[in-house]
Structure 1
Amino acid sequence: MQNFKNHTRYYPLHHFILTPLTIVYFIWSLVKLVKAWDGSIPSEEIYQLIGAVILVILPILARIYALKNQDRTIRLEMRQRYFELTGESFSSKERKLRLSQIVALRFASDAELVVLIDKAIAGGMRSKEIKKEIQHWQEDRRRV
């Protein structure tokens, strides 16, 4: 069962292989450039460093794109859930919530969602506080 303590997700290929390897390659390229610098421009090392910078940026961009798409999906899901539970539009509540709050509220069960939304707005709760308030987690194991 998913809960506050175990809801964080890691994607091993991204978090433990690709990202560390690109950082190691970037540092290695930078060290090679510094060692080769003798007053003239070491073009081969510069090319390597440019390639390393590109390789560091690519997984970061891929992650950002995936998370932004996921945020859009969560927003749509919350609009639908709120409408199904209340028969009203979520837009007035949504404007009062930060995206991080909406993402945290996504884990709340239907029984506690509406009350928790109002509590989050009234108390300006942070996402971590919202997650700790959730009694019955709605699991989401498909997140990126």
Structure 2
Amino acid sequence: MESQSYKNHIRYYPPHHFVYYPIIMTFLAFSVYFSCTTEDKLIWTFISGIFIVLFCLAFMLRQHYALTLQNRIVRLELRYRYFTITGEKFEDLEHRLNDDQLFALRFAPDEELVPLTERAVNENLSVKAIKKAIVNWKGDFDRV
């Protein structure tokens, strides 16, 4: 498996990104075209509206369900890893970091997690700064 870094950590889901969305966008483009060029403007406008709703719903639901669950799992993983390394509860530091900072810390390997967490808390590091500060990137290949 390829190693993961800041430059390649974005992940695509081919059925959604490269099949479903192009198809729905093509149908939407045709329905908008027909709503502007045919005599049946009302029905084609309605059909265009349906495709817009389908596109938005598919995107929102797929993202919402997966990310909500993933966020819970990442928090639990960080708590477990931090406790395993230090013997202390991560919750004491967790409330001082925002969600995005927490999620960026998941890429830090065990030997970098504690110092980087302390830096993130003390210096209020941005997500980008946290990710760039990681020397040995710990890949997260199972996320959605």
Q: Please tell me the TM-score bracket, short chain as reference.
A: 0.7 to 0.9
Q: What is the 5 A alignment of 1:81-96?
A: 81-96=81-96
TM-score (norm. length: structure 1): 0.86
Using the TM superposition, give the Cα deviation of residue 108 of structure 1 relative to its aligned residue in structure 2, in angstroms. Answer: 0.4
Aligned-partner SS, 1:138 = coil
Deviations 1:36-73 (A, max 9, x none): 47xxx844224312320222123212122212211111
Q: Distance in 1 between matches of 2:115 and 2:27?
A: 49
Aligned-partner SS, 1:69 = helix
Q: In the alignment, which residue of structure 1 is the partner of 2:106?
A: 106
- After superposing the two structures, state which structure 1 stretch, 13-22 or 118-127, moved more: 13-22
Q: In the alignment, which residue of structure 1 is the partner of 2:36?
A: 34
- Which structure 1 residue ranges, 5 or more long, are not aligned? none
| Cα RMSD after superposing both structures | 1.9
Instruction: Kindly indicate whether the alpha-carbon contact (under 8 Å) linking 1:101 and 1:130 is maintained by their aligned counterparts in 2.
Output: yes
Identity fraction in percent: 38
Q: Distance in 1 between matches of 2:122 and 2:30?
A: 51
Q: Distance in 2 between matches of 1:58 and 1:23?
A: 13
Q: In the alignment, which residue of structure 2 is the partner of 1:47?
A: 46
Query: Which residue identity lines up with residue 31 of structure 1 in the other structure?
Result: Y
Give the aligned length.
Answer: 141
Q: In the alignment, which residue of structure 1 is the partner of 2:8?
A: 6
Q: In the alignment, which residue of structure 2 is the partner of 1:21?
A: 23
Q: Which runs of 4+ in 1 moved over 6 A?
A: none
Q: In the alignment, which residue of structure 2 is the partner of 1:70?
A: 70
Query: Which residue identity lines up with residue 25 of structure 1 in the other structure?
Result: F
